[in-house]
Amino acid sequence: MMASSAAPLISAPAYAERREALRTYFDRTARGAWIDLTSDAKVSRIRRTVRAGRDEMRATLLSWLPAVLDGRRLLDAGCGTGALAELAAKRGAQVVAVDVAGGLIEVARVRVLATGASFHAGDMLDPAFGEFDHVVAMDSLIHYRADDLVAAIACLAARTRYSLLFTVAPGSRLLSAMLSLGRFFPRKDRSPAIVPITEAELRRRLAQLPGWKVARSARISRGFYKSHAIELVRQP
């Protein structure tokens, strides 16, 4: 049985502050760059590696969902410009796609017209969106500290029937060095900090989530794109 859809939002100030920073960044500073990155527009070599990594990660997460999603309700938590939502909807899912950045939602509504996916600007954890069979959170939790990340997963899990797929920034010396380089960029060009977490720490924390277990995991590394996917499945 799933918990009530009235499960509360995370109330921690740190979560709210980071969510607002993300909204501001993707609606103002990075909107144009993100539109280009998620299209076939010409981008820099570094961004091409990020695009390739995101494409591979999206394909990986979709491969972990049932091949036929007819009648299944799916939350795309942090949908960006809608690429994953579109593909899931084409497989029959009833997709609710949510992103904190209203500007990206506007783009998604233009790009994704024929699939029936619904797009909303807001908090991906808002219980008003209801209950789901599957939840996918691709690269939307990587900016939150470990406590808030796990709390967000618990919040989503309370309203999920079968599986919850998400990504984290893998804890590694290489990624830490790459993130340190970002501190030398002008402040106006910096994205909100990514918070790495080791797989061992993540699994230890997730083991305390009742009724769920870690199934598959996969790490994608393409140039400046480093991301680790986790599949949580509900236990009978």
**Structure confidence at residue 213 as a pLDDT band (50, 70, 90):** very high
Alpha helices in 64-198 (DSSP H): 83-90, 102-111, 146-157, 173-181
User: How much is the pLDDT for 119?
Assistant: 97
Instruction: Report residue 203 as tokens.
Output: 């699994």
What are the pLDDT digits (tens) for 120-145?
999 999 999 999 999 999 999 999 99
The 10s digit of each residue's pLDDT in 61-87 is 999 999 999 999 999 999 999 999 999
CATH number of the structural domain 13-234: 3.40.50.150
Distance CA 173, CA 38 (A): 28
* Confidence at residue 5, expressed as pLDDT on a 0 to 100 scale: 40
> Which tops the pLDDT comparison, 101 or 191?
101
Confidence at residue 10, expressed as pLDDT on a 0 to 100 scale: 63
CA dist., res. 111 & res. 64, Å (int): 24
- Pick 7 or 42 by higher pLDDT: 42
| Mean pLDDT, residues 24-53 | 94
Asked if pLDDT for residue 34 goes beyond 80, the answer is: yes
pLDDT band at 172 (very low <50, low <70, confident <90, very high): low
- What is the reported pLDDT for 165? 98
CB 100 within 8 A of CB 126: no
Residue 194: how many CA atoms within 13 Å on its side-chain side?
Answer: 25
pLDDT score for 236 = 86
Asked if 61 and 80 touch (Cβ cutoff 8 Å), the reply is no
Please tell me the distance from the alpha carbon of residue 108 to that of residue 86, in angstroms, as a whole number.
9
Residue 219: phi and psi, rounded to 5, are: -115, 130
Of 189, 204, 236, 197, the closest CA to residue 219 belongs to 197
Checking if the pLDDT of 3 tops 90, the result is no
pLDDT band at residue 181 using 50, 70 and 90 as cut-offs: very low
